Amino acid sequence: MADYIYPAPGVTDVEATLTLTVNGVAGDLTVPSLQDITVNASNDLFTWTTLDEAAKRNVATTSTNSLSMNLVLEQASFFGTDPTGTTSAELGIFGMSNNKSYVDFSLYLGDTSTGAVGKTITGTGYITGLAPTVSADSPVWISPITITVDGSYTVA
């Protein structure tokens, strides 16, 4: 039987978890209320044509990496506990984005379907793409969030 990645929603120490830290500053912020997560690893391509072929040629070049997700906003994690602070918990997601903080992230994908410890994707980048919204059909604030990765992912 295949050993699938199982994010185990709501199961402590087993579920998919995103942790943020301001680069070089001690103190983590575990992001609550994630609705969905997308790990993007998009290779760019250099494309050319030649007169002696009917099809184009491609060579992979650098990769553009990002994490995208939606979350239900929670006061302390979104706005932080001290907007003039320096740690990720003090600044919150909004403060880290607004300050253009260089952040370290750690995304635990969840345990496997056989109960083994799963993989973690780590890297560094910037928080972008915040766009909180609320509506009559969704009476809590929800926001997309993107972490634009600077460099490559590391998987452990």
Which residue in the block uniquely carries the two structure tokens 């500053």?
Answer: 25
Q: Does the pLDDT of residue 116 top 90, yes or no?
A: no
Q: Does the pLDDT of residue 76 top 80, yes or no?
A: yes
* Residue 2 maps to a domain: no
* Residue 1 maps to a domain: no
SS3 call for 93: helix
Report yes or no: 137 and 50 within 8 Å, Cβ to Cβ: no
Q: Does the pLDDT of residue 14 top 90, yes or no?
A: no
Q: What is the pLDDT of residue 145?
A: 97
Q: What is the pLDDT of residue 6?
A: 80
What CATH code is carried by the domain that includes residue 60? 2.40.30
* Residue 35 maps to a domain: yes
Q: Is 91 exposed, middle or buried (0-12, 13-18, 19+ CB in 10 A)?
A: buried
* Residue 8 maps to a domain: no
| Predicted confidence (pLDDT) per residue in 121-153, tens digit | 999 999 999 999 999 998 899 999 999 999 999
* Residue 5 maps to a domain: no
Q: Percent of the chain beyond pLDDT 70?
A: 99
pTM (two decimals)? 0.86
- Residues recorded for the chain: 156
Report yes or no: 97 and 128 within 8 Å, Cβ to Cβ: yes
Domain span including residue 47: 17-155
pLDDT band at 1 (very low <50, low <70, confident <90, very high): low
Q: What is the pLDDT of residue 111?
A: 86
Of residues 117 and 129, the one with the higher pLDDT is 129
| Predicted confidence (pLDDT) per residue in 88-114, tens digit | 999 999 999 999 999 999 999 988 878
- The number of domains in the chain is 1
Percent helix, strand, coil in the chain, to 5, is 10, 45, 45
